[in-house]
Structure 1
Amino acid sequence: MARRSHGLDAAIKAARRTGKLNVSGHDLDCLPDQVWSLEAPGDERWWEGHDLEILDASNNEIGELPDSFGGVTMASLRSLNLSRNAIEQLTEAISDLAALESLDVSCNRLAALPQFLPANLKLLDVSHNRLTRLPDVLPPPLLVLKATHNSLSEIGESSLQSCPLLKTLWLTNNSLDALPLSVGYLTDLTEFRCTSNRLQSLPKEVAQLRHLSSISLSNNMLHGSVSVPEAAVDLNLQFNHLKHLDFCLIATKLVSLDVSNNSIVEVPSSIGRLGCLKVLNLKCNDLNDLPNELGWMSSLSSIFVSGNPLRRIRSAIWSKGTDTLKEYLRKRSSQEEAPEGTTSLIEEHREAFKPEDDRKRVVATASQVDLSKQGFEVIPDSLFSSPMSSIVVLDISRNRVRSLLPLSGLTSLRALHADFNEVSQVEGVPLSIVELSLNNNFIEVLDDCVVQFVNLRSLSLNNNKLCQLPLVLAGLPTLTALSMVGNPIRMGKRRKPSSDASAERHHPRSPYYSSPPDFERLAELYEEFRPFVRPTGSGYVTIDWNDPQALLAVTRVLLRHDFGLQFSLPEHHLCPPVPQRLNYICWIEELLSFLQLPSGEEIWGIDIGTGASAIFPLLGQSKGWKFLATEIDPESVESARKNISDNRLEGRIEVVQSPSARDVLVGVIPERTKYHFTVCNPPFFDDLQQTGLNAKRVCRATPSELVCPGGEVEFVAQIVRESVVLRDRISWFTTMIGKKSSLIELQRLIRDVNPVCVRTTTFTQDVVNAIRSEPVRICTNAVGV
């Protein structure tokens, strides 16, 4: 029986008049019976009734839908939102919803979808489930398909072939090692996201998609030439295995190209053909030099090159920014004119001004320019010829300007007055800005790019359409003057990302990277979490981070809400922070991508010292991995086994008790068994006094979880020594390290065992070290030894 909450009756009553039923966040475990019969009671006027067209039952605890779901009552249903529930299976009857155009079942526990979906469906979101495949036939009218964060290992040829009208396709965070050739049927596709998979190449058919403009393929295993369509505008290929960029040159409309964290050794001089390119990210590659042609590309406003062994360009040059770098490349060029295939700023604007435009001509050397009251609707490019890049103060007030994007090239600009225009976005304002006045415009929300205005001191946003206090302003360290008079700001309850979200540096593969934990929302959904949430003096929501019970409550609610896991912990045991531990798991996934494992191979890991929580195996099994977890403390072994049993994971996780503290792996793991990786959160300290914890904090962990002879250095040293014996049975040896000084002390020992590869990363305060026991290419974004 559904648990009725306040306001449910009112929502159902309103649905009879509007056809829109919103029961989101009502703590329901099933849909109320009234949904199947919205006829008005006897005391209401039946002729004012409206067929149900929109049903939002998201953010509840609904476990299943009745077999009778649909029927006459839902014959007119156009939109159905069942996201963030606990649904494990969709009834086949859902295909009877003939009028349904939008279906959102994201963040559930679906392992499969019905063979047939509603025939007129245009939007389908099945993200954050447990799907291993998509139906063989998808609805032909489908325009948007989102299937991120599942376990898809392949996409059937017929699946995409059946929906040729598709415009948006999201397949991020799956296990795809290839795309079907039928992707070529998606001739209307405009946006494709397939990050964090195992793709090694793309079908050549992708290059034929003439409308595909936005492509994101980061965190894959792409190498060689990648099929890129000519229409590409935004191309993200970071964290792959690419060595050259020639394949990109066909996309002459590119505005943004991100190939950071690859193995690129050269940028071709023909890159000058990309006349629209504004942003080029080359961070963390193997570049020794850059072509002079980059200096002559007039549209290019941002070049990122840190993390490269640039031997021919001093860091004192490229570290000063794009303008300085481009100027250096131009001066270095032995040619007097721009190279063939590129356009210089001076040539581009040589004929821009006509005699009749003399009234608008501005002295090119002037540092202060007044273009107010000119009647502009679009800022003319011709006003910003190369000498004009030295403008310091610009006034474009009292025009009809809608976009500030043309101003992005004025890198010397310090003050901008753009009052009384039609501006709705701040995007385009140069990052060098110190004083910004945008009074009397149409700004409703401040763009996130504002946080990059690190020199901004004065901001005036009077008489706009801001409804909320822009929280992005909190990240501006130099802002001293702010005016927002005349905005319809509602001074209600404000939200702030949880301390977890703001303190953790989330891995790009982590779901928290794009959606950090929201304590306020979690408190609304889970009654047991509410007592630990409290407002701050600024109206934000937080918890007491010194309360062990509050920490346990956070861990429980995150594991339940985001992973569908039950969790318990004995008193006085270490309570792990979920986002940080998930960072470690995501990093392991990154390491595994370099093993080039056969498709479908079962992944096995070892958790050294799993503790009472068994947090790493609990999180890792969501990736489809299996674990052997070791632990020396009997009470922790019992607790870890309980967490595994409560979640019915006995077939995926085994906990064994270590016979002694002397041997970490040798003598503990079964003979002749091979594993892909180890994870470990070692005891950090040599004795309890080193912890520096007061009595109140010590209660969060037992001595065995914090202390061992020799501390983390000796514990990790033992792993390093045993890696020599087990190098043929374990591919990656990894462990967390609490102090960077410990890593320095361990580096000599690591070198002595002659590893093929060592990689190091940082999660908040913890350094994580990985030793590779077999040959593997060393990525330039990692520390390689």
Structure 2
Amino acid sequence: MAEGTSLPPTVININVQFNGRKIPISINSESIVKDLKSLLQPITNVLPRGQKLICKGKVLTDSMTLKALQVTNGSKVMLVAARGLHQGEGPIINDTKRIETTDPVTVYKPMTSRTAQWKITGVIALSECNLKVVPEEIWDCGLHTRVLDVSKNFIQEVPAKFGSLKCLNKLFLDANDISDERISWEGLSNLKSLTILSLNKNHLTTLPSTLGTLTSLKELHISSNKLTSIPDQLGLLKELQILTLNANRRKNCFHEKCQHSTRISSVPSSIGDCCCLVEINLSSNLLVELPETFGNLVNLKVLHLSNNGLTSLPSTLFKMCTQLSTVNLHRTEITNDILRQIDGWEAFDERRRLKHKKQLDFCVGSSGVFDEGADDDYRP
């Protein structure tokens, strides 16, 4: 803003010091600190939760107003960024300017467009933006995009254009309105560098065979959908480490026949080919048995199976999966009497005890009675 120009009574000019540079900000004095952090995010690439703002030797509290904290016109505020809590490769600052505006909250805008920012950082963060469609400007970022988060919106369609983001590593589409008819798996199958795919809380009923083409996947999250089956091609995901397919059912549907038609009732034996799996969550489905190939998952550490109709476990699970230390079997038909009869139970029981002891040593978890495994739990 040009010198001599009068400001609205509630607007103050402050200078934020960061990385050896000064960032001029104009903001309403009644704004809370959290608002200031939101303004600084696109300029510095530091996420709000990674920002510590200090003025006159005091750390500014998110919920308090600048006026209450005695941040006045001309105040100097220091920004300290927590390591790892930034977008892209690290904090950045672009050339900026002040512009004239009647907005009483802020008269500060970066010169760089958000598309340019996305290209610089490789990160597109649009969670909780009330989006109904994926913004067209995303496709302009093309090979620059490594992370795309459009979760918690109202998006219904995943178009084939996603295939143009060929360098995409992480894709978050959670909590939208995506259905089978509106998702282009052909487009997604072009994302050969994708390591994380998250589609939790949508309306998917099937997973296609093309899922098996995403051979770089390390994490696959498709919980709280309406899936009825898992394709055999899951076994082609040799790099997969975390698989969450829990709670696949129609909400507010209690009829027995309807439940059986809307939950996962079996797991393909090909899952045994996913040799890198470390954690699996299949809770709250309609599983009655698991394939013996679970014994091939020698790197498996955590297995969640609660709220299923299971009456037994694969005979080689405890013997072959020598890193397994957590098995959640609550609300299944499996008791500890059944578990003790499985070959390798003693070694597994020792591992879970050691894990629990480490948790207590580091004050992690509850201080109550150890409660893991079957409903009729074996107490140490």
TM-score relative to the length of structure 1: 0.31
Q: CA offset at residue 279 of structure 1?
A: 1.4
Look up the equivalent residue of 1:157 and give its one-letter code: W
SS at match of 2:243: strand
Q: Distance in 1 between the 2:25 and 2:158 partners?
A: 29
Look up the equivalent residue of 2:174 and give its one-letter code: T
**Partner residue of 2:313?**
267
Q: CA offset at residue 171 of structure 1?
A: 1.2
Query: How big is the alpha-carbon RMSD for the aligned residues of Structure 1 and Structure 2?
Result: 4.2
SS at match of 2:35: coil
Q: CA offset at residue 291 of structure 1?
A: 5.2
**Partner residue of 1:186?**
214
Whether 1:102 aligns to 2:16 is no
Q: CA offset at residue 163 of structure 1?
A: 1.7
Q: Distance in 2 between the 1:187 and 1:193 partners?
A: 15
**Partner residue of 1:145?**
171
When residues 96 and 106 of structure 1 are mapped into structure 2, their CA distance, relative to the original with a 3 A threshold, is closer
Q: Distance in 2 between the 1:144 and 1:5 partners?
A: 42
When residues 270 and 232 of structure 1 are mapped into structure 2, their CA distance, relative to the original with a 3 A threshold, is same
Q: Which runs of 4+ in 1 moved over 6 A?
A: 3-8, 18-24
Long gaps (5+) in structure 1:
36-49, 55-60, 62-68, 81-93, 302-322, 324-405, 411-426, 437-445, 457-779, 781-785
Look up the equivalent residue of 2:207 and give its one-letter code: L
In the alignment, is the contact (CA less than 8 A) between 1:168 and 1:192 conserved in 2? yes
Q: Distance in 1 between the 2:294 and 2:120 partners?
A: 42
Whether 1:26 aligns to 2:31 is no
SS at match of 1:280: strand
**Partner residue of 1:238?**
283
> Which of 156, 181, 190 in structure 2 is aligned with 1:132?
156
Whether 1:74 aligns to 2:74 is no
Whether 1:251 aligns to 2:297 is yes
Long gaps (5+) in structure 2:
1-7, 28-32, 44-91, 97-102, 104-108, 249-262, 376-380
**Partner residue of 2:344?**
296
Q: Distance in 2 between the 1:134 and 1:146 partners?
A: 12
SS at match of 2:365: helix
Q: Distance in 1 between the 2:275 and 2:322 partners?
A: 13
Q: Distance in 2 between the 1:135 and 1:128 partners?
A: 18
Look up the equivalent residue of 1:123 and give its one-letter code: V
Q: CA offset at residue 268 of structure 1?
A: 3.4
In the alignment, is the contact (CA less than 8 A) between 1:14 and 1:20 conserved in 2? no
> Which of 18, 21, 26 in structure 2 is aligned with 1:17?
21
> Which of 274, 285, 289 in structure 1 is aligned with 2:332?
285
Tell me the alpha carbon deviations over residues 649-702 of structure 1, each in whole angstroms, 9 at most, x when there is no partner.
Answer: xxxxxxxxxxxxxxxxxxxxxxxxxxxxxxxxxxxxxxxxxxxxxxxxxxxxxx
When residues 236 and 19 of structure 1 are mapped into structure 2, their CA distance, relative to the original with a 3 A threshold, is farther
TM-score relative to the length of structure 2: 0.60
Q: Distance in 1 between the 2:26 and 2:171 partners?
A: 23
Which aligned pairs between 1:6-405 and structure 2 lie closer than 5 A? 9-11=14-16, 17=21, 25-26=34-35, 52=94, 73-74=111-112, 94=115, 97-115=118-136, 116-119=139-142, 120-138=144-162, 139-154=165-180, 155-220=183-248, 221-226=263-268, 227-228=270-271, 229-246=274-291, 248-271=294-317, 272-287=319-334, 290=338, 292-294=340-342, 296-297=344-345, 299-301=347-349
Q: CA offset at residue 249 of structure 1?
A: 3.1
Look up the equivalent residue of 1:130 and give its one-letter code: F
**Partner residue of 2:357?**
429
Q: CA offset at residue 258 of structure 1?
A: 1.1
When residues 277 and 9 of structure 1 are mapped into structure 2, their CA distance, relative to the original with a 3 A threshold, is same
When residues 96 and 52 of structure 1 are mapped into structure 2, their CA distance, relative to the original with a 3 A threshold, is closer
Larger Cα-atom Rg: 1
SS at match of 1:450: coil
Q: Distance in 2 between the 1:178 and 1:203 partners?
A: 9
Look up the equivalent residue of 1:257 and give its one-letter code: L
Q: Distance in 1 between the 2:276 and 2:132 partners?
A: 36
Q: Distance in 2 between the 1:74 and 1:267 partners?
A: 57
**Partner residue of 1:450?**
364
Q: CA offset at residue 286 of structure 1?
A: 3.0
When residues 113 and 19 of structure 1 are mapped into structure 2, their CA distance, relative to the original with a 3 A threshold, is farther
Which aligned pairs between 1:275-674 and structure 2 lie closer than 5 A? 275-287=322-334, 290=338, 292-294=340-342, 296-297=344-345, 299-301=347-349, 409-410=353-354, 429-430=357-358, 450-454=364-368
Q: Distance in 2 between the 1:211 and 1:163 partners?
A: 15
Q: Distance in 2 between the 1:26 and 1:291 partners?
A: 54
Q: Distance in 2 between the 1:197 and 1:183 partners?
A: 16
- How many equivalent residue pairs? 272
In the alignment, is the contact (CA less than 8 A) between 1:199 and 1:222 conserved in 2? yes
Q: Which has the higher contact order (CA 8 A, sep 6+)?
A: 2
SS at match of 1:207: helix
In the alignment, is the contact (CA less than 8 A) between 2:11 and 2:26 conserved in 1? no
Give me the identity figure in percent. Answer: 22
